[in-house]
Amino acid sequence: MEPCLFCRIAGGEIPSEKVYEDEFVYAFEDINPQAPVHVLIVPKRHIARVEDLCHSDAETAGRLLTAAAVIAKQRGLTNGFRAVFNNGADGGQEVEHIHLHLIGGVKMGWPPFPSV
Ligand code: 5GP
Ligand code: ZN
């Protein structure tokens, strides 16, 4: 099976603008930023969706968030930011490899969906 897009980016096979890397995760600039700061943080190991996480992935899952903390500080997001997993069809996930969107530099609204 072909490796997925974000596996190939995390593995350096497809170029990206690297923001952060550790043993567990890789972070890079979103190609189509929705805000002044828009970084994607992905596990280096392929995990398709949040519901595929097991307890043995706890360190990887935690590193997604601790990477967000490091990058938010680096980017000076002292007034806040949003950290989002779009997950599955209803969540608007387009790339089937878990990615944490770190979005900031603009005041955001809530809720992020049309009211019912
Ligand atoms: P999703 O909709 O799955 O939550 O988000 C996928 C994100 O990946 C989108 O924000 C999109 O702009 C970004 N993206 C898609 N393809 C590429 C790519 O080849 N390189 C980078 N850097 N970002 C990508
Ligand atoms: Zn993958």
The list of the chain residues with pLDDT below 70 reads: 1
Residue 115 lies in a domain: no
Q: How many domains does the chain have?
A: 1
* Closest to 42 measured CA to CA, from 24, 17, 69: 24
Cα distances (Å, whole numbers) of residue 116 to 49, 91, 93, 111, 113: 26, 16, 21, 11, 9
- 88 ligand 1 Cβ < 6 A: no
- How far, in Å, from the CA of 94 to the mean position of ligand 1? 8
Domain contains 10: yes
pLDDT digits (tens, 9 = 90+) for 63-81: 999 999 999 999 999 999 9
Nearest alpha carbon to residue 69 among 61, 58, 81: 81
38 is catalytic: no
Q: Whose CA is nearest to atom 24 of ligand 1?
A: 31
User: Residue 69 is part of which domain span?
Assistant: 5-104
- What CATH number is given to the structural domain containing 59? 3.30.428.10
> Mean pLDDT score of the chain, rounded to an integer?
96
pLDDT in tens, 80-89: 999 999 999 9
What is the predicted pLDDT for the residue at 114? 79
CB atoms near residue 99 (< 10 Å): 26
Looking at the domain assignment, is residue 111 inside a domain?
Answer: no
Residue whose CA lies nearest to ligand 1 atom number 13: 30
